[in-house]
Structure 1
Amino acid sequence: MTSQYSQTAPANRRAFLKTATAAVTIPTAAALVGSTLPGTAQAAEPTELPDFAPVPAGATGPALNAEGYFVGRINGNLYWVTDSYYQAMFLSTREGVVLVDAPPTIGHNLLRAIADVTRANGRPSKVTHLVYSHSHADHIGAANLFGKDVVRIAHSEARRLLLRDADPNRPIPTVTFDDHFDLHVGGERLQMAYHGPNHSPDNIFIHAPDHATLMVVDVLYPGWVPFKNLAVSQDIPAWVKAQDVAMGYPWQTLVGGHLGRLGVRADGDVQKQYIADLTASTKAAMSLDPTPYFEKYGQMGNSWAIFKTYLEAVAEQAAAPVVAKYTGVLAAADVFTTDNCFAMLESLRIDAGILGPFSTRP
């Protein structure tokens, strides 16, 4: 690694700080409060975009129609909708439609997909119930499309978070529950359960037992590695445990909320193995010698540079064998595995107390 400093740094931290403050005018905290950054920030045009491994054929889903969506039957009166990035699920009942999630990337195509199905089966097209898997805007940011009369169902923590966010695109749920909620509408049923925080504090499991289908969002990613930083989950140990909870349900089809295809049980098994390999590789890489990082950046008094360079080096070392094993098996193994190793590394440090060179000194 190269340093941004071309001259030799002072021998000790005190001398370095003295030299640095003499050469640089540092504004006071009072001067910074209320000040604005000069100029207008603009996104730079990328000069060269990276190349990644091809997506395995088994990771892709059905082709989209001219409007940019696909709607298909899962089983009986249970259907799913995707735009190849996000997914929703709905039950067509004698009394109307029960919809689970309303991703804004699909948006008005949800209405078109529901119309496609109900026109064919002669059932009502009105959405009478809307279930929120969790409060995140990327999954329910089109919830305002379904009017004020729809019954909105979510976990009680989702209600608290949505009240805080005050987003008109995500109306407050009208029905909430803490542990379990069974919904019966027009001869169909959904079983909702809360198993504790995982990806988010309010993420629930939606089971359609009559159709052998489970919808749980941002936990399992059929055919793909998990999204960046282990699905940007707020509780990594609980998120890992949620995969076991999901596999404990008697489902044959999984609606994971993301990407272009449905899941089967083998997908859950592969992801669990990916996480096990990622965890083991990260633990092993934590033996990386930190001395060069302390020597280079410690003399500059730059503690954050020590942490940044060392932790990133551990993540890169941990990712290498995992990427090699899963390239061609899981899509985007070379895209997000280093980020996922970094998230696992931080969880091992913070949640498991495996601190590596930052542990208690003798």
Structure 2
Amino acid sequence: MSRELPSPTGRRTFLKGAAGALAVPAAAGLVGALAAPARADDTGLPDFAPVPAASAGPAPNSDGYYVGRISGHLYWVTDTYYQAMFLTTTRGVVLVDAPPTIGHNLLRAIDDITRANGRPSRVTHLVYSHSHADHIGAAGLFGPDVERISHAATAGLLARAADPNRPLPTVTFRDRYRLDVGGETLQLAYHGPNHSPDNIFVYAPDHATLMLVDVLYPGWVPFKNLAVSQDIPDWITAQRIAMDYPWKTFVGGHLGRLGVRADGTRQIQYMDDLEASTRAAIDSVDPSPYFAKYGAQGNAWAIFRTFLDAVADTAAAPVAAKYAGVLAAADVFTKDNAWALLESLRIDAGVLGPFGVRP
């Protein structure tokens, strides 16, 4: 939305007088960048709010992983940073994702379970949620004979990457794929781009469990810059699509615990609050000082940097305060998330603030 600013330092007045200055390169450094977080101890690192007890998951074992049953023959494994999910079947193991931080502990976790339940331990099928290396970068551990299943777009992305740790899929699909192995079923679905162009929904209907990676973060705020998602509007839509599934248990691919439906509802409310606060901040933060100072130096990027940072700060403050003690890391990433949402509102939704149509 475009609005006229107060004279004489309003956008219309200033741009008229400073058009020449903006065209001149300036060597002046940035001024007004946000201060570093307070240093709390001799490590030189900042302190953040404690993680709420409800956001933490089970403690890993001495090897650095936790494996637990979700339902029946469906299990999950975490190292508190990443998660994978697997089914033991009468024919072998169906694994969804292979995060490298878990790495060889995936093999140990699978062996723990299959030795206990007497089912075959060999991984026969590996589902890729999407192409990103932090989620499937240990796929090469399972050898050349495993059937690797992904969305069609994942194949192209992996071919471009040429990463031996992420072997190309052997089976791809575009909209829906039903995987039936040894009495167990997974329903794979593509609902369009979200976090990445190829990210899929993995639903275990017999276990009322949905795995969707990098979209919902049970007990936590989303990772930096809204999970570094490539399509923010569709990433937001994917949260609501996830809630349309009749799941009771959610596997999000990150952090140390499983999700319940209240977690999805809470993240959607967080995002609604963040959007409302960001829209309000675009209107309330006066851009005049940023245009006046950095425009005179011919430093257009400094105008954008300082104004957008100020809007993100203003937008994040009430949201971080509201969710402190409710969602872990509300003080860590809410400003970054506000910044990413602000950019999406500008370039995707046309909420341009002082960068709107020139008067």
Q: Find runs of 4+ consecutive structure 1 residues off by over 2 angstroms.
A: 11-21
**TM-aligned CA deviation for residue 12 of structure 1:** 6.2
| Structure 2: tracts of 5 or more residues without a match | 1-16, 29-41
Q: Map 1:282-293 to 2 at 5 A.
A: 282-287=278-283, 288-293=285-290
User: RCO greater where, 1 or 2, for CA within 8 Å and sep 6 or more?
Assistant: 2
Corresponding residue SS for 1:279: helix
Letter in 1 for 2:303: I
Corresponding position: 1:304 with 2:301: yes
Q: Label 1:20 to 1:57 Cα distance change in 2 as closer, same or farther (>3 A).
A: closer
8 A Cα contact 1:72 1:81, kept in partner: yes
Q: 1:147 aligns with which of 143, 149, 165?
A: 143
Alignment length (residue pairs): 329
- TM-score, normalisation: structure 2: 0.89
Q: Map 1:1-362 to 2 at 5 A.
A: 48-287=44-283, 288-362=285-359
Letter in 2 for 1:125: S
Q: Label 1:50 to 1:185 Cα distance change in 2 as closer, same or farther (>3 A).
A: same
**TM-aligned CA deviation for residue 166 of structure 1:** 0.4
Counterpart-to-counterpart distance in 1, 2:160 and 2:127: 19
8 A Cα contact 2:175 2:190, kept in partner: yes
8 A Cα contact 2:26 2:299, kept in partner: no
Corresponding residue SS for 1:229: helix
Report the aligned-residue RMSD. 1.7
**TM-aligned CA deviation for residue 361 of structure 1:** 2.4
Alpha-carbon displacement from aligned partner over 1:78-111 (angstroms, at most 9, x marks no partner): 0000000000000000000000000000000000
Letter in 1 for 2:69: R
Counterpart-to-counterpart distance in 2, 1:224 and 1:246: 17
Q: Label 1:157 to 1:348 Cα distance change in 2 as closer, same or farther (>3 A).
A: same
Counterpart-to-counterpart distance in 2, 1:18 and 1:257: 48
8 A Cα contact 1:153 1:173, kept in partner: yes
**Alignment match, 1:3:** none
Alpha-carbon displacement from aligned partner over 1:95-146 (angstroms, at most 9, x marks no partner): 0000000000000000000000000000000000000000000000000000
Corresponding residue SS for 2:320: helix
8 A Cα contact 1:13 1:299, kept in partner: no
- TM-score, normalisation: structure 1: 0.88
**TM-aligned CA deviation for residue 48 of structure 1:** 1.5
Counterpart-to-counterpart distance in 2, 1:258 and 1:116: 22
Counterpart-to-counterpart distance in 1, 2:111 and 2:345: 48
Q: Label 1:185 to 1:300 Cα distance change in 2 as closer, same or farther (>3 A).
A: same
Letter in 2 for 1:93: T
8 A Cα contact 1:96 1:125, kept in partner: yes
Counterpart-to-counterpart distance in 2, 1:100 and 1:13: 55
Letter in 1 for 2:287: P
Q: Label 1:337 to 1:254 Cα distance change in 2 as closer, same or farther (>3 A).
A: same
Letter in 2 for 1:352: A
Letter in 2 for 1:64: P
| Structure 1: tracts of 5 or more residues without a match | 1-10, 24-45
Counterpart-to-counterpart distance in 2, 1:296 and 1:153: 54
Corresponding residue SS for 1:286: helix
Counterpart-to-counterpart distance in 2, 1:227 and 1:47: 24
Counterpart-to-counterpart distance in 2, 1:106 and 1:16: 50
Counterpart-to-counterpart distance in 1, 2:23 and 2:243: 55
**Alignment match, 1:31:** none
**TM-aligned CA deviation for residue 239 of structure 1:** 0.2
Alpha-carbon displacement from aligned partner over 1:218-254 (angstroms, at most 9, x marks no partner): 0000000000000000000000000000000000000
Counterpart-to-counterpart distance in 1, 2:83 and 2:174: 25
Corresponding residue SS for 1:173: coil
**Alignment match, 1:29:** none
